[in-house]
Structure 1
């Protein structure tokens, strides 16, 4: 039996009380009659639009009353220095459609409404709706069509673009925020996006870095679209992280990126660059036929599960000499090419190996992000891609948080909501891994404990 959520029950109770009071007072009788007569709730002639118009105009009139100092119809109005001076028509876009308002004016021209400020053509809720739709993967023209077809609001492509661009400053602030001095582990992985570059659309890699702090909590450190190849690009990324406060990194887990190990070692000389073992296994299995995949996977296990680097080399040589190894020399080559960046993994104890074994911490995030970007033809520039990816991460985490909030108070076996995707997620068995890190890197860990 499902246990009720206390917060949801309280919200329902309050909403029911309000609805009951309105119904018993007769305030809704005329509205109910119009609904029964077939009048629409939304759209240009919708009842909700009329109600919102009445509420906004009443609020604006109350603001003007406070500004001029007298109520409408006051016989002593002429004694006041300022006075009412009719209204100005104004159309504002809302979540339920366009609403035509009569905005009151004053004689002196000093009235500045707060409810619907001068120059504002949309209520804040509509901006939030547009940004949410954009974060969900809809293009600007998709959003334009969606608003017009669902709530009857017609906004230009340029207006919607400006609304979305408003989050640009937030993205810049997030991408340049200060970071911790030490991240024991940083994972790096990429998602391929299509971006217009000059007169052509190119595939570019949007790299996402996730750092694990001293408490074992994961944080998305930044998103970078690769503008140039190799060491030059990675040197700029590492320099940016260092400038934001990262003084040391113990282990960086990534998939063999050209120039990356050199950039890391130039910025953090003592850092260990570790090839993602899962990526390495996938590369080794790339040309293996379907019928041999299980056998090859089993034969590779002694290599990456070896107790030491010497034992791993012995296992690799044994695989190379076997029938499967002779049949698939590309699998052997994958390990030999990555050997220098693979073997650091083997020097760590089991609990720490499980933490740095794979970049799956990011891959699950990338899977969700690909669902958001797959409907887009391409992005106009690198900044647009970073902005959407950042918004998508926020949107995914917010949705999961709302789902968890709905299940708050339920027993563990009754909860079905997903946990955090990446941001704020706690690394499994972190205490044990941190203990082993403190034994491997005592001088670098202890000052931060």
Structure 2
């Protein structure tokens, strides 16, 4: 059972805010929060050392090794309050391992997240440095920012090559367009493989950036998935790219390749007038969102009855499976 924390009383708050007049008194470079953080961290460090030694200050030695306090070391931690000087208590034998401020730690937990958040928004190293200086008064070197972002790059590479499950019932292969900073900000296509695992959970299997999309590129992608442990895919959902099904079947010959429902609907609506597109799309949705195959067949018949005279040859011709796909006549 966790120990109950002491409540912060109104009397304590009154003492802390006795001289409060403006926001800077609370969150400024020498504000109450910064001073309070320093005091609390140093008190917690002292409590950790007391637990480590087995005795408090000025008490008899409480351990068999004769280990005692041995002054302080000083460090500055970078964080949202700028640089915060902290005194770290030491023991004579050098066996004390602080937990709240670990050895060699120079930044508060979460400070790296701020750097990564700014980096993800496309800011340069110099822009991040200036922003942290302006917002928090923290002087952060370009090398520190680079080391933080480089560490994430290593994690991304490890994630990109991680082993995968042997079987995925469904894998979606498509792309999204996002802004990427390469000197200037450009829009690039990021190709992705999204799998549904046996537990029914979505899982990003990989992300790739390529100059152009083609059957050869996707052949490399599915080959990589196989090399990372995927042995079988039941259904691969793809767009209408020429040669795409053949590329998948070359690596996973037993996989059923299915055209993405979004691409099928978009393609079909090209044959429908603008004023009727919303109505046709709604009727198509009733088919592919049916809860059973029998219901889908019923909705298909209703669709044919309603639209056959206007769009002969366009209508859906099959509803194989539950909430899966509707194939269309060309």
Q: TM-score, normalised by structure 2?
A: 0.69
Equivalence for 2:291: none
Task: Work out which of the residue numbers 190, 194, 200 in structure 2 matches 1:210.
Answer: 194
User: Would you say 1:294 and 2:275 are equivalent positions?
Assistant: yes
Determine if contact 1:185/1:356 at 8 Å carries over to the other structure.
no
Determine if contact 2:238/2:259 at 8 Å carries over to the other structure.
yes
5 Å matches for 1:389-428?
none
Q: CA deviation at 1:266?
A: 0.6
Equivalence for 1:369: none
Equivalence for 1:266: 250
5 Å matches for 1:151-162?
151-162=136-147
CA offsets, 1:29-83, max 9 Å, x none?
A: 3212022587611131111111111112222333444556654345889x98655
5 Å matches for 1:47-446?
47-65=32-50, 71-73=56-58, 84-106=69-91, 111-131=96-116, 137=121, 139=123, 143-168=128-153, 170-193=155-178, 204-214=188-198, 216-226=200-210, 230-257=214-241, 259-282=243-266, 292-294=273-275, 346-349=317-320, 352=322, 354-356=323-325
Q: Which runs of 5+ in 1 are unaligned?
A: 1-13, 321-334, 336-342, 359-449
1:240–1:153 Cα change, 3 Å: same
CA offsets, 1:406-428, max 9 Å, x none?
A: xxxxxxxxxxxxxxxxxxxxxxx
Query: Which secondary structure does the structure 2 equivalent of 1:154 belong to?
Result: coil
CA offsets, 1:92-122, max 9 Å, x none?
A: 0234432111223455555443332222111
User: Would you say 1:18 and 2:7 are equivalent positions?
Assistant: yes
Larger relative contact order (C-alpha < 8 A, sep ≥ 6)? 1
Structure 1's consecutive aligned runs of 4 or more residues displaced over 6 angstroms after TM superposition are 199-202, 296-308
Stretch of structure 1 that moved more, 167-176 or 231-240: 167-176
Determine if contact 1:43/1:97 at 8 Å carries over to the other structure.
no
1:303–1:283 Cα change, 3 Å: same
User: Would you say 1:46 and 2:31 are equivalent positions?
Assistant: yes
Paired residues in the alignment total: 305
Q: TM-score, normalised by structure 1?
A: 0.53
Distance 2:170 2:44 in 1: 54
1:43–1:201 Cα change, 3 Å: closer
Q: CA deviation at 1:150?
A: 3.6
1:228–1:292 Cα change, 3 Å: closer
Q: CA deviation at 1:202?
A: 6.9
Stretch of structure 1 that moved more, 68-77 or 26-35: 68-77
Q: Which runs of 5+ in 2 are unaligned?
A: 288-296
Normalized per residue, which structure has more strand? 2
Stretch of structure 1 that moved more, 184-193 or 100-109: 100-109
1:108–1:278 Cα change, 3 Å: closer
Query: Which secondary structure does the structure 2 equivalent of 1:114 belong to?
Result: coil
Determine if contact 1:227/1:233 at 8 Å carries over to the other structure.
no
Q: CA deviation at 1:126?
A: 2.4
Distance 1:356 1:218 in 2: 19
Determine if contact 1:211/1:220 at 8 Å carries over to the other structure.
yes
CA offsets, 1:366-417, max 9 Å, x none?
A: xxxxxxxxxxxxxxxxxxxxxxxxxxxxxxxxxxxxxxxxxxxxxxxxxxxx
Q: CA deviation at 1:169?
A: 5.0
Determine if contact 1:177/1:244 at 8 Å carries over to the other structure.
yes
CA offsets, 1:338-366, max 9 Å, x none?
A: xxxxx9x85443x53x43359xxxxxxxx
Determine if contact 2:171/2:193 at 8 Å carries over to the other structure.
yes
